[in-house]
Structure 1
């Protein structure tokens, strides 16, 4: 480490330059000793001797240049590894470093590949655990907030319709009382699974809290409301837990480009409470 630190003071910005300086010194030291000896205390050389010295000097310089070029190419995997680490740090772009065997460089690249892929998989799992409800695997409240902001941003940028629905179960407590909380949990899971059967790409469902869910449908408001009504009817007919029909009240509101998302939620939530006070097991949209 002393040699490394010493050369770093002289050539602070390039490891390649330090490596080539060592190679250059090692190749030229014998020649420099010969020249110093001949210039200082050695016998007076004749013309042939000086010719030999210049030939050796030229061959040494050419050889050193070839060695340095080869070393520069040999260090390409190290430069690639450094670029891969920076790319993942800056852009979360996973590397695809080449397999170079089992020498020190090959093991280093393999370790970087394996480590970054493991870190990335762990981060993906962490993001999922942060944004997903552990019971239903739907989005949790934080995931809903993030997804709603993303959906509204996309709808405004692409001038697409967007509808938000607030869905609240009417009879989860009777199911819990009659069949136990495990059956109630299964009802919530089945509700999410049944919604995913008809939700299209870009649509999503999330558990806002307790037995209240949010659904976003990227369609015209009338079309979206009709899809919700058909879904609620299927839930009521099939029965959420195999013994009792699953009844839910829902309210819907169409997104107005540029509006505050809290206002959008409040409009859908108010429509849901109107549906619940009207007897439940129905959907009311803001125009109803």
Structure 2
């Protein structure tokens, strides 16, 4: 940019002071013509009126030209200031990190480096706060808020033609473990469940802690493919050796997204299927709301059956 060129050129002469750059432009372009005229008068004292008029006219024209040049140079010299205003506005409007030049050693250079560093620190802090808000602190799965946001995004993607299956999980034996071995053992069970799920979840899939011992898993796959993966995981959980020797038993209900299905309807269907799995003894995957006991609250909320039992 031409403005940065003027700034960098003057930085070679006045590297440590932006004020010196401004004063050099003003003095050099406006006072220099007048100074030359005064010196000319001192050396040539015996001038005719015509010569004096001509000299004065030249001095005025030179001064006006100098003022115009000074204005142009000042406009370009203030380019870094305009760039800083633009990057601050761009960050708060578009969250775009700044890329201001950091080679200046004067006040303007220090300010540009400060804005670069400050906005990067702010951006890092915002991202960390988002991570904390969207991540469950115990299991490192998505939190309730994070799950809710991602579930909405998954449903939007499913409406565009991507298959989606939602699973609602409930740990069957968490309360007995908490009662007999303490909450530390129960917490370890939840952590192990989430960590083991990350071994088979693919890009675009996720697990979130919906609350207590209830989790959600979203998988972008056909019901048959997703169910095979989840059933294999449940079998591995039940047989997985753990430090306390207690197997993880999970009841799972699933629901397939269909065109026009909203988030809450999809969740209610999967949740109802999970209650059906519990009603059948737990530790299994159910994808058929028809297995719900008649008249239960879950059955009334679930609506009509659509799937099959895994």
Mapped partners of 2:102, 2:172: distance in 1: 59
Mapped partners of 1:45, 1:164: distance in 2: 100
Deviation string, structure 1 residues 122-156 (Cα, Å, up to 9, x no partner):
11111112111111111111111111001111221
> 2:142 corresponds to which residue?
139
Report the Cα offset of residue 23 of structure 1: 4.7
Given candidates 119, 124, 128, the residue that maps to 1:116 is 119
Mapped partners of 2:254, 2:241: distance in 1: 23
- Provide the TM-score with structure 2 as the length reference: 0.77
Report the Cα offset of residue 73 of structure 1: 1.6
Report the Cα offset of residue 44 of structure 1: 10
SS at match of 1:93: coil
> 1:210 corresponds to which residue?
212
> 1:155 corresponds to which residue?
158
Deviation string, structure 1 residues 169-191 (Cα, Å, up to 9, x no partner):
11112322343211211111111
SS at match of 1:168: strand
Report if aligned partners of 1:186, 1:241 keep a CA contact under 8 Å in 2. Answer: no
Report the Cα offset of residue 102 of structure 1: 2.8
Mapped partners of 2:264, 2:99: distance in 1: 43
CA RMSD in angstroms comes to 2.6
SS at match of 1:199: coil
> 2:109 corresponds to which residue?
106
Report the Cα offset of residue 77 of structure 1: 0.6
Gaps of 5+ in 2: 1-21, 38-45, 289-306
- Provide the TM-score with structure 1 as the length reference: 0.83
Q: Report the CA distance shift for 1:229/1:130 in structure 2 as closer, same or farther (over 3 A).
A: same
> 1:219 corresponds to which residue?
221
> 1:49 corresponds to which residue?
52
Deviation string, structure 1 residues 186-232 (Cα, Å, up to 9, x no partner):
11111111111111111110001111100000001111111110000
Report the Cα offset of residue 115 of structure 1: 1.3
SS at match of 1:161: coil
Structure 1 stretch displaced more, 256-265 or 173-182: 173-182
Given candidates 256, 269, 285, the residue that maps to 2:287 is 285
Mapped partners of 1:111, 1:23: distance in 2: 28
Given candidates 246, 249, 262, the residue that maps to 1:247 is 249
- Moved segments of 4+, more than 3 Å: 28-31, 239-242
Mapped partners of 1:171, 1:283: distance in 2: 16
Deviation string, structure 1 residues 233-261 (Cα, Å, up to 9, x no partner):
00000045541111101010001122221
> 2:75 corresponds to which residue?
72
Mapped partners of 1:217, 1:241: distance in 2: 29
Structure 1 stretch displaced more, 137-146 or 160-169: 137-146
SS at match of 2:286: strand
Mapped partners of 2:259, 2:84: distance in 1: 45
Report the Cα offset of residue 101 of structure 1: 3.0
Report the Cα offset of residue 272 of structure 1: 0.8
Gaps of 5+ in 1: 1-18, 35-42
Say how many residue pairs are matched: 260
Report if aligned partners of 2:169, 2:253 keep a CA contact under 8 Å in 1. Answer: yes
SS at match of 2:246: coil
Deviation string, structure 1 residues 85-117 (Cα, Å, up to 9, x no partner):
100111111111110333110111111111111
